[in-house]
A and B are shown apart, each in its own frame.
Chain A
Amino acid sequence: MAEIKCPSCGKINPETLELCQYCGTGLQLAPTEPLDPLTPGELPVKKDTAELERTLPGWLRDARRAADENTPAPADSTPVDSAPEPPSANIAAAPLDLLAGLSQTNADEEEAAPEWLLSLRGNTPELSPAAEPPAAPSSATDWLEELQGPPAPAEPTPQPEDWGFSSQATYNFDDDLEPPLPPAGEVPDWLATLQAQETTASLTPASASEAFPTPPGGDFGSAPDWLSELGGGFESNEAAPAENLPGPTTPIQIPAADLPDWMQGLAAPGGADRAAPETGNPASEAALPDWIADLSTPVPGGADRAAPETGNPASEAALPDWIADLSTPVPGGADRAAPETENPASEAALPDWIADLSTPAPGGADRAAPETGNPASEAALPDWIADLSTPAPGGADRAAPETENPASEAALPDWIADLSTPAPGGVDRAAPETELSTAGSLPDWLAGLSETGSEVPAPGDASSTEFKPFATGSLGEIEALSTAESIPDFMSGLLTDETKSDLPDWMKSASPESEMFSFGAQQPAPAESEKPVETDPAALADSGLEKGAVPFSAPIEEDEDADPFLAMEIPEWLSGLKPVDAAEDSAAAPGPDAANLPPADLPSWVQAMRPVESMLSGGQNADGEESEAREEQGPLAGFYSVLPIPASLQDIRKPKMYSIKLQANENQRTQADLLEKLIRAEGQPKNAGQLKESVVLRPLRWVIFAMLSLAVLLPAVLGSSWWPAPVLPAAAEDPFNRFAATISGLPEGAVLLVVTDYQPGFAGEMEQVAGPVMVHLMHKNSRLAFLSTSTVSTELGERLVEQANAFFVQNQGGAPIYEKEKQFLFLGYLPGGAAGVQAFAERPQQTTGRDSLNGNLWQSALLGNGGIEKISGFDAVLVLTDDPDNGRMWIEQTAAALAGKPLLMVASAQAAPMLQPYSASGQLSGLVSGLDGGVLYETRNAAEQLAPLYAGRAKALYWDGYGAAVLIAGLSIVIGGAWSVVSKLRARRSNAKQDEA
């Protein structure tokens, strides 16, 4: 079965359930539909809350839904989800949900939170309390990871001193480690307290639109409701449901006991108000950012900030240690010392500056003491934290917590340090304000929280009262946002008019009336590194940015009360903080240069988070005049201290276009074209030569044929016999003479094996060569047995006999007429090649000669009535062949079986040269080859008077024509060869001339 993870507690539930069986949170959360982002030039448009409902995170919607179910809507509650109207109508309305993605309902969509943020949540419930001592931080950035420390055991019940913020992580971005949220509908204590105090809250928030006026540049419109509710929901604690946060003008009354320790000191008359919603408003808590909610929501185990004070490492582990340390009760510092002593291991893993937070300085009243006592720790502290330890000149109140927690103070950021300064009128909020005013380390938003009704230094008072937690100059425009435009909804309820000036500008615009941010009107002077970056307005004049393109939220009126934080319990350490007169602080506050603060080595990520000084100060000096130019155009319109664009870049409207074409000169292009042609030519076939060859080839062949034909036709037509016959060779060893001699030496009636192994194509030549031999044999009354290893040549012997017969008839010679089966027979076809010849040579009767038609030919009288058992039984073997290989085969295979019987061979002119060595070696008894051999044999026959009337057919028909053809061929070869040589020489000469040229 499929399972689903509870978004609140993180426990696994069956998919079929709608509510978590552990914490009661709704499991089926609708996906968040974030609003369209702002495009440059657009201004935020006020949106209706109903429209923004879908932009809320699922967990927030669920919390709101649960709160609605639990608490009735207040009568006078104003819709808190109505965003303030944008200041100008011409500004394009655009939704902007700055915190839309803060908390993800879908586990898959949830992004991995940065480590520093994760560490702010504290430990997860899965972690054992003291099983995993945090390892020593390897780098400055790992210190936040170490803030988690060992998980503290679950705290079953919240302490009354607890101002409501739980030390345990309530919302954890890590799904696996996400601690279980309180069941839906179960209001945290702090929020409940807050709600209770809301009934007596003096802050009455105006309409949401007033509470969250649209900033001058536009409105953010899309601020999450939870933040807007923070301002509007604290109007009335009783009637404040989860989503009805007290209005921005109504200070939130939170019981001091419900406030976290660090905020107890901030507890003003309205501080309890702040605590109330903190403890009794889980929905509002749910609407708070996690980092704030973590500070307020108690975990089911009841772990809260008080737990670590009394030795509850689990609860303390839920909060970052530095925050946990802040929550330790200030009086006596025992509480702070307790976790310090009880968690030495965790402290050992903490950075020094955090460890110093928990280590009580031995009577170090001044901030300098811990500073001197722990220079290394202070040196490692960020400036804003280091500022926390810097004692204010008149900051006796500040000194109090300093003496008790000098190390902590030394490590506290200014804004936190301000929290510990007790505010005048019992509002601890003021104390840190006064304290921080000297230290100048409280952020504006925290400064606003610590004081209710206290005089908040003007926002333009940047000298001493301005708090710049992220004091970077480029953020000066934020102040402009807070002053000129409406603040984001989420901030609207957090600031009061009093604290507005003390808030960072980016915060002022959010919630100028929230008490939460009215911690301290006076802020310590910024350090050197925190000086605002001055921008050149002139440089930004032509930036091309549209005026008012950046939407701003309406500035929060200063008279608006703060958020529920104002009513929250102020931690004890903050409660001891006394408010400092803002005027005195501002007058007495030294400048940044006179702070005598050693420059802190902030981590890069901290430095990146620091708001630009100019943005915080709002670009205004102490006189309230704009000291820095405000960006009027572009996406940063309304911001101050925007980095100037170098003059050389002002004219750049769009990126420079670079040509993609290859920048080549004329010569390079020419060479490239040439190379390309060469490469292309390689792939193209050359037809010129072939065409020329084919054109010349055919006519030359025709000429050759014509010449040859003429040479043959003329003698044939004319009947001439002018070409002289060849002369018989004189040498007796001449193969021809030996052949003739052999034939002449055969007895009468000799049985010869005549092998006709020539192709029909050579029949014209072979018949002219073998014809006279046949005549000679016929004159000898030889018996002829024809055999052939070629299928087609089996009957060629019959042609020979017929020609010889015709010759004799024509010549009317005295030679008998040969008849088949009487004087000659055919043994047939002998297959097998060399094996067949060898087999015939060994066993001729078993090899061939048995005919289905004629029976056993070997038993005939012609073949001696079966007397021939081997090839040697023949008187001679006459091989007629046109192939030298065939002749060689017969020579090789019959050499051993012949046993001295003559082997004669009549060969074609093409086979004679290769058969000559065999004749020379004596393996052949005689060799006659070519037409000239036939003519020669005819001449011999004539000489012996074999054919007295007719010299021979070969001579008559072929020799003249052959002679003429050979003569023509010879001449053609000579002429052609000479022409070829001349042509080559001429071509070579022309090439040489061209080369020379």
Chain B
Amino acid sequence: MKRIFSILNAVIAMGCGLIVLIGTFFNLQGMRETRLLFFQWAVILAGVAVLVGIWNLFSVHLQKIRTRQPGSLYSLILLFFMLLSLLFSSVTEFSAFKTVFLNGIILPAEISLLALLAVTLLYALIRMLRTRTDLPTLIFLTTALAALLLPVLAQFPAVNDLIRPALTNLLAAGGARGILIGVALGTLTTGLRILLGADRPYGGK
């Protein structure tokens, strides 16, 4: 039975992918409609997948509380705020609290985490040469320093019109374009492997 499902999965992935691909490159009315229908279904199913992930989070912490594992208090706090946020977000009357939660908890916490990242990144840059001292490292550090300082020095026309464009549009552009092309090629290759059945991230052999 599982083997049948494995084959079925591969057939579904390959078939639907080919339909979408054909509908994209070929202006076939049936194929376009089918492709759009598949997109609609994919949208719905992607939302349901998010719910599955949240349920998994809930069950893990609930199990942690049930089994009295170390850190179950934090799990209790997590579940408390989850339910509270769920309540505030679902009930229209509590929409104000939803905003409070959004502006008072989610945003400050995430922004603060990013602020911590600034300290860490700066610390890493300061100690970078202590770890390794080679040409790419020096180039990296120099470029990073330049890219960091140039915007605040943009009041100078030379910086703003010459150095900064040369850095962003010339030196970094080549590498960035090369990376983008490489990423696109990788995406193309991976997609083709999935459509051809060589890769099966959905399980099965």
Contact = CB atoms under 8 A, between A and B. Distances in A.
B43 A839 contact: yes
Contacts of A930: 151
Nearest to B133: A984
A96 B157 CA distance: 123
A590 B99 CA distance: 137
Interface in B34-58: 36, 38-40, 42-44, 46-47, 50
B40 A847 contact: yes
Interface stretch (B3-11, B64-72, B74-82, B175-183): B175-183
Contact of A966 (B36, B43, B152): B152
B87 interface: no
Given A730-B161, A916-B168, A963-B152, A701 B130 contact: no
B22 interface: no
Contacts of A761: 107, 110-111, 113-114
Contacts of A759: 110
Nearest to B32: A842
A72 B130 CA distance: 116
A984 B129 contact: yes
A731 B152 contact: no
A764 B109 CA distance: 12
A918 B169 CA distance: 11
A816 interface: no
Contacts of A701: 119-120, 123
A858 B7 CA distance: 42
Contacts of B111: 760-761, 763-764
A967 B151 CA distance: 11
A725 interface: yes
B119 A704 contact: yes
A734 B165 contact: yes
Interface in B78-96: 92
Contact of B172 (A727, A913, A966, A975): A913
Interface stretch (A147-155, A312-320, A360-368, A829-837): A829-837
Majority secondary structure, B binding face: helix
A990 interface: no
A963 B150 CA distance: 11
A832 B110 contact: no
B90 to A, nearest CB: 12
B102 interface: yes
B175 to A, nearest CB: 9
B154 A726 contact: yes
A494 B179 CA distance: 114
A183 to B, nearest CB: 78
Interface string B144-182: 110111011011110011000100110011001101100
Nearest to B118: A708
Given A724-B155, A847-B43, A976 B107 contact: no
Contact of A970 (B127, B148, B154): B148
B131 to A, nearest CB: 8
A726 B151 contact: yes
A720 to B, nearest CB: 15
B28 interface: no
A972 interface: yes
Contacts of B161: 729-731
A839 B43 CA distance: 8
Interface string B124-143: 01111110010000000100
Contact of B122 (A726, A829, A963, A969): A969
B119 A708 contact: yes
B176 A916 contact: yes
A914 B176 contact: yes
Given A731-B161, A731-B165, A792-B106, A832 B39 contact: yes
A729 B50 CA distance: 43
A913 B46 contact: no
Interface string A910-930: 001110111010000000001
B176 A917 contact: yes
A843 to B, nearest CB: 6
B77 to A, nearest CB: 19
Interface string A820-844: 0000000001111101101100110
A976 B125 contact: yes
A980 B130 contact: yes
A976 B156 CA distance: 26
A192 to B, nearest CB: 90
Contacts of A976: 125-127, 129
B123 A704 contact: yes
A700 interface: yes
Given A729-B160, A832-B43, A980 B128 contact: yes
Nearest to B20: A835
Nearest to A967: B152
B36 A969 contact: no
A973 B36 contact: no
Given A759-B110, A761-B114, A974-B145, A836 B155 contact: no
Q: Which of B103, B119, B177 has most chain A Cβ within 10 Å?
A: B119
Nearest to B156: A727
A916 B169 contact: yes
B46 A836 contact: yes
Nearest to A933: B151
Nearest to A762: B114
Given A730-B161, A731-B165, A983 B43 contact: no
B152 A962 contact: yes
A829 to B, nearest CB: 8
Contact of A846 (B40, B147, B149): B40
Interface in A724-760: 724-727, 729-731, 734, 759-760
B23 to A, nearest CB: 10
A727 B46 contact: no
B40 A972 contact: no
Contacts of A972: 122, 125-126
B123 A760 contact: no
B99 to A, nearest CB: 8
A946 B185 CA distance: 45
A274 to B, nearest CB: 93
B42 to A, nearest CB: 4
A175 to B, nearest CB: 62
A917 B42 contact: no
Contacts of B43: 830-832, 835-836, 839, 847
A920 B154 CA distance: 21
Contacts of A832: 39, 42-43, 46-47
Q: Which of B110, B118, B129 has most chain A Cβ within 10 Å?
A: B129
Contacts of B160: 726-727, 729-730
A700 B161 CA distance: 36
B44 to A, nearest CB: 8
A853 interface: yes
Contacts of B156: 727
Contacts of A962: 152
A853 B46 contact: no
A704 B122 contact: yes
A916 B110 contact: no
Nearest to B49: A831
A847 B129 CA distance: 51
B150 to A, nearest CB: 9
A430 to B, nearest CB: 101
A894 to B, nearest CB: 13
A973 B39 contact: no
11 contacts: A726-B152, A730-B157, A761-B107, A761-B113, A831-B44, A832-B42, A847-B40, A917-B173, A965-B118, A970-B148, A981-B129
Interface of B: 36, 38-40, 42-44, 46-47, 50, 92, 99, 102-103, 106-107, 110-111, 113-114, 118-120, 122-123, 125-130, 133, 141, 144-145, 147-149, 151-152, 154-157, 160-161, 165, 168-169, 172-173, 176-177, 179-180, 183
**Top-5 shortest CB links A-B:** A976-B126, A726-B154, A761-B110, A839-B39, A980-B129
Given A763-B110, A843-B40, A983-B130, 8 more contacts: A727-B156, A729-B161, A836-B39, A842-B36, A853-B92, A917-B176, A970-B149, A984-B130
